A and B are shown apart, each in its own frame.
Chain A
Amino acid sequence: MYAFTYHRPKSVADAVSLLGQFEDPKLLGGGQTLLPTLKQRLARPSDLIDLGQIPELQGIREEAGGLTVGAFTRHAEVAHSDVVKRVIPALASLAEGIGDRQVRNMGTLGGSICNADPSADYPAAVVALKATVRTDRREIAGDDFFTGMFETALEPGEIVTAVHFQKPDKAAYAKFRNPASRYAIVGVFVAVFGSEVRVAVTGAGPSVFRADDMETALSQDFRADALNGASVSAAGLNADIHASADYRAHLVRVMARRAVEACG
């Protein structure tokens, strides 16, 4: 790891001010991606700004027809939260499936979505649950937040403070995970809001996306078999040693079926 200067601000305002002061600062959430990256010398920030001691970034509360989760809320807290289990159980179960127990004890919601790993789980929930990403200066619709592989709509120096998830009528997340890393090879989050069905796919493409044909099919007939005629094209999907693009396209339908079945 290259040397850096470490900061531990006590408020979002202080963190924003620190971000503006240095040449190449990085925000530190739970560090479960950033620290391994630094250890491999794949990044060389001048300063690390640790967000772990900022009370306003923490906590889970029921709010305006959904849940607001602070950016520094750890995966384990979401997974075990009684409020999350009651209001959006699919979100608790998604969090319970991230990484392993020790990663969940450190990793944070904000860190996950700001890193925007194409195989991360949370982006599927942000998009499917019509979330709003709140930052120190504005609100960003979940549909607009993820802009590409490891890319988000955030401006330089902008800090995510919380995410508001809307409460669906029913929802489920089904994931085909890499057995070693436990990242999603393909993860599909299905959420039903009245007559609207949202199907968000992570792991398959460079960034989370909505499967339009599947949404149309399911909004007409919410059964797993309704997906028989709807498919996702393999063109542009990720291909690596774990799965080809064709296999990922196949898995999208299988995971979507499982998610629909899990919705009950």
Chain B
Amino acid sequence: MPCTVSMTVNGKAVSREVEERTLLVTFLRDQIGLTGTHVSCDTSQCGACVVHVDGRSVKSCTMLAAQADGAAVTTIEGLAAADGTLHPMQAAFREHHGLQCGFCTPGMVMSAVDLVTANPSPSEHEVREGLEGNICRCTGYHNIVKAVMAGAEAMQGGTMKAAAE
């Protein structure tokens, strides 16, 4: 049976009639057209589909769109400023080459922003622990962690140090 699901996505109110079994990630990609949120493992392990629902990072492949009815959702497309200026965390991933193939990157960035919002100055250990729900198949964790540390500093208003390598 179809149901109407309404939510705010990246600040914009959206409403669609969908099947009740529709996952949030399917809703965002197929109904709203925001394909920055990726589907990878589809078994709640990899974190490529991480978005924020009412400010909390969640795996959108393991949540029904109906569960997010009435919620405020932020996807990777909602991070940059309207003029295209990258969010400090996105800029840090670029500066520190926190990606190889880039497939896990949207989820990594969304998890990192949530992590740093809760803990503005995380230690390297806390960053690694905070990213446990995100898997990089290229195993590029070293630079991802560096990027998150730099992004955390930049989110606090610090200037980003240039990458050393």
Contact = CB atoms under 8 A, between A and B. Distances in A.
Given A5-B1, A76-B56, A180-B45, A102 B64 contact: no
A183 to B, nearest CB: 12
Contacts of B66: 6, 8, 50
Chain B interface, >50% SS class: mixed
A102 B21 contact: no
B121 interface: no
B115 interface: yes
A87 B95 CA distance: 44
A106 B62 contact: yes
B98 interface: no
Contacts of A100: 47, 132-133
A5 B1 CA distance: 7
A122 to B, nearest CB: 18
Given A100-B133, A106-B62, A36 B21 contact: no
Given A32-B62, A35-B64, A102-B57, A4 B20 contact: yes
Chain A interface, >50% SS class: mixed
A99 interface: yes
B28 interface: no
Interface string A90-124: 00000000011111011000000000000000000
Given A6-B66, A35-B63, A102 B45 contact: no
Nearest to B133: A100
Please give me the 7 A-B residue pairs with the lowest Cβ-Cβ distance, nearest first: A100-B133, A6-B20, A105-B56, A100-B132, A102-B133, A1-B21, A102-B59
10 contacts: A2-B21, A3-B21, A32-B62, A35-B62, A35-B63, A36-B44, A101-B57, A101-B132, A102-B50, A102-B133
Interface of A: 1-6, 8, 28, 31-32, 35-36, 38-39, 48, 50, 52, 76, 99-103, 105-106, 180, 182
Given A5-B1, A106-B63, A180-B45, 19 more contacts: A1-B23, A3-B21, A6-B20, A6-B66, A8-B69, A28-B64, A28-B67, A31-B62, A32-B44, A32-B62, A35-B44, A35-B62, A100-B132, A100-B133, A101-B57, A101-B130, A102-B133, A105-B57, A106-B58
